[in-house]
Amino acid sequence: MLVFPPVALKADVRDHLRNTFTNEELVSEVGEEVADREFDALLSSLSHPPSFSCVRINTHLAPPQQVQHTLQQELTGQQLGGCHGEEASLVPLPHSQLPDVLMLPILGPRRVCVLDSEVVVGAQCGSSVLRGAHVFAPGILSAPKTLQVGGLVSVFSDVENKCTRGAKSFEGQKVFLGNGVCEMSRSEVFCSKGPIRGVAVRMTDRLYITPCFDRVLPHLVFLQNLPSVVVGHVLGPRPGECVLDMCAAPGGKTTHIATLMSNQGVVVALDKIRSKVEKLRENAAKQHLSCIQAFCCNSIQAVATPTSPSQNSTWDGANGPPFPEESFDRVLLDAPCSGLGQRPNMAVSCSLKEICSYQPLQRKLFSTAVRLLKVGGVLVYSTCTVTLAENEEQVAWALRTFPSLTLQPQEPHLGEQGMLGAGLSHDQRRLLQRFHPRMRGGVASDGHTPMPCLDDADSDTIGFFIAKFVKS
């Protein structure tokens, strides 16, 4: 059952994506009708939340079973915005193949009545609300004159980014997210002294219910999309190794890598935005992971040039970038990308030009990654987008450009194989892992919201791509 319209895209972005998903190679295999249908289903899935939230356990500090129990206790009694029976059914479940993962159902869409009074929030705030957050004041765009503390309101999300902040009402395209109680008046929300923080609407009756992980066991669990956790396992770091995470902030994968290494060895984490590096350091400290060394750096320039002092020396594990060539046992390039796999996402604001700008940037970063990797080392390339240009086409380019690289099988392999259209062979595509979002569930005919099935959790997730190489 469709609740929200498919993700809103600019017309040229939509055409570009449609061409990708109905490319000649693909259509000749599955037929035009199936390719078209799959594309439409993809756009619908993207605007809806996945059927489970995924939390990764910091196994460095506590065993999974203990964390499952502690988390269950923490979440009991949380007001999630559903009825008691629904809330009681939302318990953390272990993932069948990933020992460090707990899955929490996202229950919905539920039947919720729309109220007379409404606030409209931005698309980003709307996505957070769908994933369990309350409405924070900076996210509100429009609120009625009568908004006052204790009043009940319906919350809508602006789909096309057209609502102006401070408006009293909005008649543009918007989607309903649920109802809540105001904790701020209109004048507090739109305070003239500048942006105000804090919860403005506490959600009490949601379209989708799922626990909110804000400040819940921050040292023991990390909210992370399932494919992102798969990346850490596919990289397969071992205690004592030197590992480079080239685009690391805010550190979800860095802290996972350090955890898999039992905090032994060195994980160098680079990101080009200083404030994000600070956030990464905070996350590492919160999880007691002292083997992480974080630096603010443009990773394209992370390899030492022949004139720089560190050239020809071996890296001693103490200095920051630039590093001598072949310094690392494993390199993760979780590349900056167009992010078109993120869910729920009701509207993509970026232009076609921006979407197309990522391929050359990713190639520059990839070339640096190959130079910094030791012979025999492992390189994992990942993105959270669905385009061919940033995924399979990059793999085809890498195999042509770096004869020393070979594709490797991935463990675990929970996603689908690579998509047709980039000229890769069947065997090459089978070694790739593409998470192609497929929405499940819906409202049952008796009006009850069915519990999502754990078997669907691996496919009803965000759009994501993983490739693993070894350098010979």
Nearest residue (beta carbon) to ligand SAM:
247
Toward ligand SAM, which CB reaches closer, 149 or 273? 273
Residue environment code for 27-37, b if the CB has 16+ CB neighbours within 10 A, otherwise e: beeeeeeebee
Q: How far is the CB of 442 from ligand SAM (least distance, A)?
A: 31
Q: How far is the CB of 461 from ligand SAM (least distance, A)?
A: 15
Toward ligand SAM, which CB reaches closer, 175 or 304? 304
Give 449's contacts (C-beta < 8 A, 6+ positions apart): 86, 107, 108, 109, 110, 111, 443
Name the residue among 343, 362, 354, 326 with its Cα closest to residue 247: 362
Active site residues: 384
Q: How far is the CB of 106 from ligand SAM (least distance, A)?
A: 21
Toward ligand SAM, which CB reaches closer, 242 or 270? 270
Lookup: tokens for 35: 């390719």
Q: How far is the CB of 337 from ligand SAM (least distance, A)?
A: 6
Name the residue among 99, 90, 97 with its Cα closest to residue 58: 99
Toward ligand SAM, which CB reaches closer, 78 or 357? 357
Toward ligand SAM, which CB reaches closer, 182 or 277? 277
Q: How far is the CB of 221 from ligand SAM (least distance, A)?
A: 15
Toward ligand SAM, which CB reaches closer, 210 or 228? 228
Please say whether the dihedral angle defined by the alpha carbons of residues 205, 206, 211 and 214, taken in this order, is positive or negative.
negative
Residue 36 one-letter amino acid: D
Q: How far is the CB of 464 from ligand SAM (least distance, A)?
A: 11
Task: Give me the residues that bind ligand SAM (CB under 6 A), please.
Answer: 228, 247-253, 270-273, 276, 298-300, 334, 336
